[in-house]
């Protein structure tokens, strides 16, 4: 991230699902990069949050499919409007009767991540509310080329392949070619002028 000059950014957004281990790394990363907290936004991936709402609705066995969809749609709208407290309250109201333990687990997910549910603010800043673009890039750049049955890579070769795939998939292959040509020319120039006198 240092090589990306992230310190020069006026807004830094971390988007992830609710996994503790991901969020536990963020404070150390902020300190290591020398970022000021007021420029940093943490956001739960919107589509993961909606999946959890779907899980809550799915646990209400007495609801029809239409009722489940309506409830999820209402809560989804509340999330987009920045009303995360309303969503937590709506889930809390369902924590009675059958499947209440499983619903409480989902409620705890939203409570634990409530500070990361400010989708309206992040949208207003023209920042993404989901991690889909990154997940797709990982799939297209890494998984489709580097992962497969009986496929093993040395780390340094995998890293080289990831760089090559990144340039290729980004449509910047010619940039990479030009960079390689410049490097070769510089090395040739250095070899040719190795014994030339140094001019001050």
The pLDDT assigned to 102 comes to 94
Query: How far, in Å, CA of 18 to CA of 109, rounded?
Result: 7
Q: Is 60's pLDDT higher than 70?
A: yes
pTM score above 0.85? no
- Give the pairing of strands 12-16 and 40-44: parallel
**106 in Cβ contact with 55 (< 8 Å):** yes
Give 70-122 pLDDT, tens digit per residue. Answer: 999 999 999 999 999 999 999 999 998 888 999 999 999 999 999 999 999 99
The pLDDT assigned to 200 comes to 45
Nearest to 48 by CA among 79, 69, 24, 21: 79
The pLDDT assigned to 78 comes to 97
Region label for 82, one of left (φ > 0), alpha (ψ between -120 and 50) or beta (otherwise): left
**76 in Cβ contact with 50 (< 8 Å):** yes
Higher pLDDT, 76 or 163: 76
Query: How far, in Å, CA of 57 to CA of 76, rounded?
Result: 12
Query: How far, in Å, CA of 20 to CA of 40, rounded?
Result: 18
């Amino acid at each position: 991230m240092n090589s990306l000059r992230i310190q020069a950014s006026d807004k830094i957004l971390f988007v992830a699902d609710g996994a503790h281990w991901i969020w536990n790394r963020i404070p150390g990363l902020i300190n290591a990069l020398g970022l000021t907290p007021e420029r940093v936004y943490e956001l739960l991936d919107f589509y993961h949050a909606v999946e959890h709402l779907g899980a809550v609705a799915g646990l209400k066995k007495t609801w029809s499919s239409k009722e489940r969809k309506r409830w999820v749609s209402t809560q989804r709208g509340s999330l987009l409007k920045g009303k995360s407290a309303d969503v937590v309250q709506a889930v809390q109201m369902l924590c009675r009767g059958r499947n209440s333990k499983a619903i409480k687990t989902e409620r705890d997910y939203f409570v634990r991540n409530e500070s990361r549910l400010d989708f309206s603010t992040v949208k207003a800043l023209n920042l993404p509310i989901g991690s889909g673009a990154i997940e797709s890039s990982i799939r297209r750049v890494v998984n489709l080329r580097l992962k497969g049955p009986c496929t093993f890579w040395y780390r340094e070769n995998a890293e080289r392949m990831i760089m090559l795939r990144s340039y290729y998939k980004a449509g910047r292959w010619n940039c990479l070619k030009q960079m390689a040509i410049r490097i070769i020319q510089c090395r040739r120039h250095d070899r040719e002028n190795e014994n030339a006198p140094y001019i001050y």
